[in-house]
Structure 1
Amino acid sequence: MAESNKNSQFQIVSFVMGPALFAACLIFIPHDFISPGAYRVIGVAAWMITWWVTEAVPIPITAMLPLVLFPFLGVMKMSEAASPYANPIIFLFMGGFLIAMALEKHRLHERIALNIIRITGTSGNGIILGFMLATGFLSMWISNTATAMMMLPIAMSVINLLKAPGENVMTKGERNFALGLMLMVGYAASLGGLATIIGTPPNAVFAGLLDEFYGTKLQFGKWMLVGVPVAITLLLSTHLIITRILFPNGLRQVHGSEQLITEKLRDLGPLRTGEQRVLIIFALTSLCWILQQPLNLLVGRDMLNDTNIAMSGGMLMFIVPVNLRQMEF
């Protein structure tokens, strides 16, 4: 136990020492004898060496620090910082995946989905609408497949409420509800991914090709200006077609659905520290993506772009501890 406490204390000191040495280099290295870019690079190198030697955070995360810090510090552009690693689009994916993994690890995505479903009511069409909204929203940030895999068991639990004990027979309305709900989850997982660049890999690939061959940059916010209305229109159209034309269910209430959602939320418990911190980082990352241009105008240079915002958010998931004393992330 004592050895565990010593290791935790060492990690805490090492964790703080990295950025402290970085700040010391910026403040105390004489600026008269070295260029501004050089002492900033020395500061980043000191930070990285400290974290590499002590393993205060995972080694691959430390290796990504230049991708985030160099554009922020004005040392070089994101494309230049990323060139020794890979195409910047790869790191846009990586940042998005890291954020998605943090949401999944702390089950925050499940809490968001259940709360959305609870709001839309207990009628057949209301439940399908709730699943559509929850699945579509999560698919904006998490891969389509992962979103569908998370939502399908919840949908199956709701469908099972229609079956009386010992019976496998459903009415036509109940069967239509089950079909409509399962189809809606699948379609919403695909259509929601259209709303953002990171929603599905082809979006980012298209943005990268457009930049490479035509020199046109599609920023996160600009994509959303088109992607969100298109996704909403397609989602609502799909809901209308499924619930009104193909599989009308006529169910005024699915008995037990509200209790089921309440029980699942109760199982999750109150919002935990990890969820709170992931939610804050996720919200800040999303805001930076959307307000990228105004923020760059505010600081007077192109400090932010989609890739370094994504990587900053992803790395913060590893750097901001859930429990500082135990160095739990």
Structure 2
Amino acid sequence: MSKVALLAATGRHQNAEENDNPSNNETANAWYIQDFSIAAGPIAGLLTKFIFLADQEHTQAGSQKLASMFAILIWICVWWMTEAVPVAITALLPLFLFPLLQISTANEVAKAYMNDTISLFIGSFILALAVQKYNCHKRLALKTLLVFGGEKMDPRFLLLGFCAGPAFVSMFMSNTATAVMMIPMAIGIVHKVQNPLMVEQSSASADAPKFPVQDYGTRLDPESPSDEESGYGMEQSCETSAQAMGDKALREYSKGVVLAVAYAVGVGGMATLTGTGPNLVFSGIFRSLFPDAQPVTYTQWLKFGLPLGFIFLVLLWIMLCVMFCPSKVVPIVSASLSRSVIQKEYISLGAMDSAEKTVVSLFMVLAFMWMTRATNGVVPGWGSYFNAYADDGTVSQAEADDLGRLQEAPLGYCSCAWWRICSSRWRPRERLV
């Protein structure tokens, strides 16, 4: 066989293997779907513009800009829903589409991408990343569960801990990050829960003496009482029903634990101005619509959001207790909970190191500066000494810059670039000599 024929046969064999491999087919299908989604965005935008301009009611002056604006909106929505390209890249489309389609100048569009609200959000996000990096949030959440659960691990108070812990952490971090952190811990505790009846039966069967089994065939003593007459069948059915009831109680309680985390992060996010993105969006819109009015400060939002969040948190806890942990199942759930599981995970974190103490200290200073920048009382806030030039975003960026000097070393050791704290990959930082 010639070399050409041999190479051709080898190529056909490789192509056959690639076609038979389902993973390659799935990858190819994924690429086709992504290409279609990428093309669907601008196509949908063009169709929207043509349909909008075809309407006779929009032939007046300015309709061209309005049609272009709707087209870009549809384009961005399609790409956001399909995630054909990264969401962040899609958000940057107006930076060049608005000037090219003569909707707005490049200077005006660029200003919308960076203002004091965005500065506040970026600084808070960097601080939240530092908290995640050094496991401050995990330590706080586990300690909250230990405090609320108590020595006897009351399931209702433990449920309150699963409401209060995520809610408090979510006041300073994004709701998604808090839920991602708390859900695995909640599931880990739920997986450790066992029906006490099953545990007793398994331990009793393990300790029971083993007797040799003899085969007596089908010979039965007609004089011996049946299972129904001896009561054995009734006792076994009672044990089975009790075990089923215990399993159902634990299953319902597990649902309540997971739902507590999911709802609590939303409740905690509304308590502070930086708790979630929509709060900051409202602050920015309010400032743009009412430029002459006093801006929404951190303290003003706290006066409104914190009491409301506390009320919602209590109502959430009561609702979860009624639905997933009523009084009749408290003894069953309490007997199956183990404090040692949470205690072991808390001890595994070890003692707080200098970097973790520094992050906590900076967060406390930041919260204090936010709350005292502008006060409506007799004593003026510290912002008045800067003639209203400083804002909440100023403090947030200053604290984020301090984190740039944070090092896994004694407090105050300044030796690393600021951007490392917000890197997508947490690499161990080295001292720069």
Q: What's the TM-score, normalizing by structure 2? A: 0.53
**Any idea what SS the aligned residue of 1:171 has?**
helix
- Per-residue CA deviations over 1:182-210 (Å, capped at 9, x if unaligned) read 11100001111001111111110001101
Aligned to 1:236: 314
- Per-residue CA deviations over 1:147-195 (Å, capped at 9, x if unaligned) read 0111011111111122358999752321221111111100001111001
Aligned to 1:287: 368
User: Aligned to 2:344, which of 263, 285, 288?
Assistant: 263
Aligned to 2:190: 159
Which segment is superposed worse, 101-110 or 229-238?
229-238
Cα distance between partner residues in 2 of 1:205 and 1:274: 32
Aligned to 1:9: none
Aligned to 2:238: none
| Structure 2: tracts of 5 or more residues without a match | 1-109, 203-242, 375-379, 417-428
With CA pairs under 8 Å and 6+ residues apart, which has the higher RCO, 1 or 2?
A: 1
CA deviation after TM superposition for structure 1 residue 238, in Å: 1.1
Aligned to 1:309: 395
| Structure 1: tracts of 5 or more residues without a match | 1-81
Cα distance between partner residues in 2 of 1:201 and 1:326: 32
- Tell whether the 8 Å contact from 1:174 to 1:251 is kept in structure 2 after alignment: no
Which segment is superposed worse, 132-141 or 315-324?
315-324
- Per-residue CA deviations over 1:225-246 (Å, capped at 9, x if unaligned) read 0011111111111111111246
Cα distance between partner residues in 1 of 2:273 and 2:383: 22
* Residues 1:251 and 2:330 aligned together: yes
- Tell whether the 8 Å contact from 1:179 to 1:247 is kept in structure 2 after alignment: no
Aligned to 1:125: 156
CA deviation after TM superposition for structure 1 residue 257, in Å: 3.0
Cα distance between partner residues in 1 of 2:187 and 2:268: 21
Aligned to 1:192: 268
Identity of aligned residues (%): 26
Aligned alpha-carbon RMSD (Å): 2.6
Cα distance between partner residues in 2 of 1:106 and 1:198: 20
Code of the residue aligned with 2:253 in structure 1: it is: F
* Residues 1:222 and 2:325 aligned together: no
Cα distance between partner residues in 1 of 2:194 and 2:366: 43
Aligned to 1:68: none
Aligned to 1:66: none
Q: 1:272 to 1:256 in 2, by over 3 A?
A: farther
- Tell whether the 8 Å contact from 1:92 to 1:311 is kept in structure 2 after alignment: yes
Code of the residue aligned with 1:192 in structure 2: it is: G
CA deviation after TM superposition for structure 1 residue 278, in Å: 0.2
CA deviation after TM superposition for structure 1 residue 256, in Å: 4.9
Larger CA Rg, structure 1 vs 2:
2
User: Aligned to 2:358, which of 274, 277, 288?
Assistant: 277
**Any idea what SS the aligned residue of 1:251 has?**
helix
* Residues 1:101 and 2:129 aligned together: yes
Aligned to 1:149: 180
Aligned to 1:175: 251
Aligned to 1:38: none
Q: 1:251 to 1:108 in 2, by over 3 A?
A: same
Q: What's the TM-score, normalizing by structure 1? A: 0.69
